[in-house]
Structure formats: structure tokens, C-alpha cells
Amino acid sequence: MSIVVFGEAERGAYTTPWMCASLEHLLDQLGTPPEGSQGISYGIQTLLYRRRLIYFRVEEEGFSMLDYLGGFQWLQKNALPTPLFAICLPGVGDKTILDAVHPLCFLHQACLVLSEKDLYDYLTL
């Protein structure tokens, strides 16, 4: 099963799916996480639980609307190597982004993973 993570990274193209099979592969392709970023940490956890990781680099977690929407569009149009289990959006509490990901979760029957703080932000808008 695959898990998709959207997050910041030191390097790599934006709105491009980075398929990572190991921790070494993840760090070679995307580098170290910027301070305050959670995406790479979610990616590391994904790999430690022996799931396939598809990482989409965004310029700023929670705010780079075009990066998120471009990634969602890619996921709708392209076949994945394994079934999609979850989509992780650390740092996202923006209603527009979360509303845009719901059809994608429904399409793939995938879970949406948010932090407790982000869920609170979404629910109290």
C-alpha cells in the first residue's frame, strides 16, 4: 500500500511525485527537512512501517495552494503502483485545500492524515 505525503523539503521539483523506497532514497532525493516542517518526518514514518512512499514537495506546508492542487490533480489522473492507503497533509488547516482533497480520498478509499492542531483549525473555521 502507498501513502502520499505533501511537505516541504530541501530540494526536488514541486508538484512532482517522488517515489521513495528507502530512507536513503528519501534523503538523497529530497534532502533534509526545513526547520518546522513535518513532511519529511511523516515520510520517514511511512518507510519505517514498510509502506510505499509517494512524496510531493510543496513550497510551504499548509499555504502553497498551487502545489497541493497540482499534486491532487496528478493523483487523480495517474495510476499508482499500489493501492493508496492514506494522504498526509501536515500543516494544512486551510478549508480550500482540505475540500479539494476529499474527492481524492473518496476516489481511492484513502484515509486523510492531519495533525491534531490542523484538524482543530479546520473544524473551527
DSSP at 82:
S
Per-residue pLDDT averaged across 10-34, rounded?
94
High-pLDDT (> 70) share of the chain, %: 100
Look up the CATH number of the domain holding residue 91: 3.40.50.11780
Number of independent structural domains in the chain: 1
pLDDT at position 85 is 96
Residue 88's CB: how many other CB atoms inside 10 A?
24
Q: Are 6 and 39 in contact (CB under 8 A)?
A: yes
CA atoms within 13 A on the CB side of 64: 19
Q: Are 93 and 42 in contact (CB under 8 A)?
A: no
pLDDT at position 119 is 87
pLDDT at position 88 is 98
pLDDT at 97 over 90: yes
Using CB atoms within 10 Å of the CB of residue 5, give its burial: 0 to 12 exposed, 13 to 18 middle, 19+ buried.
Answer: buried
pLDDT at position 121 is 84
Q: How many residues does the chain have?
A: 125
Per-residue pLDDT averaged across 46-58, rounded?
96
Which band of pLDDT confidence, cut at 50, 70 and 90, is reported for residue 6? very high
The alpha carbon of 20 is separated from its chain's Cα centroid by a whole number of angstroms, namely 13
Determine if the pTM surpasses 0.85.
yes
Which band of pLDDT confidence, cut at 50, 70 and 90, is reported for residue 81? confident
Identify the domain containing residue 88 by its residue range.
Answer: 2-123
